Amino acid sequence: MYSRINLAKTNYALAPPHFNTAVLTKFDPHLLQDIYRDYCLYKQFPSVMPLFIEEFWYEQADVIGYTYKGTLVAYTLMFRYNRANVAAAQFAWNYRQPWLRIGIESLKHLCAFYKSQSFNFLYLGGAEPYKQQLEGYELCGPMS
């Protein structure tokens, strides 16, 4: 089952608590790879899809960075499919400050940000239980 957020049904603030966000235009892709590695190790994933540096530079990609006390600690790699639909391709966080709750708070920020950019839907991938708490959450229907 795949899920998405209907952004018209959301009302989140752009500024999350406790950390700052920005669309990154200049960044070290190796630092992003390091954060991804830390994320996968922390989560103890038995298998992961490689994250290729080239993905960060795709024309349709946005890298949303999350900083705490001036240090990049997490990011989301987003893919804009068109002017109405965007997908959260990969989230990664080093988890050095777990109390920040960057995972769920980043999703709320993404909803607010892409809604402000006039997108209609934010695709989340698999229908994980924690995603169901988000405003506008819905399952993608079958092909018709």
* 42: CATH: 3.40.630.30
Whether residue 38 is contained in a domain is answered as: yes
- 10 domain-assigned: yes
86, part of any domain? yes
Assigned domain for 144 exists: no
Does a structural domain hold residue 94?
yes
Look at phi and psi of residue 47 and say left if phi exceeds 0, alpha if psi is from -120 to 50, else beta.
Answer: beta
- Whole-prediction pTM value? 0.94
Contacts of 15 (CB under 8 A, 6+ apart): 21, 109
**Tokens coding 71:** 């240090």
Distance separating alpha carbons of residues 52 and 50, to the nearest angstrom: 6
Domain, as residue range, for 79: 2-139
Q: How many domains does the chain have?
A: 1
pLDDT, one tens digit per residue, over 18-75 is 899 999 999 999 999 999 999 999 999 999 999 999 999 999 999 999 999 999 999 9
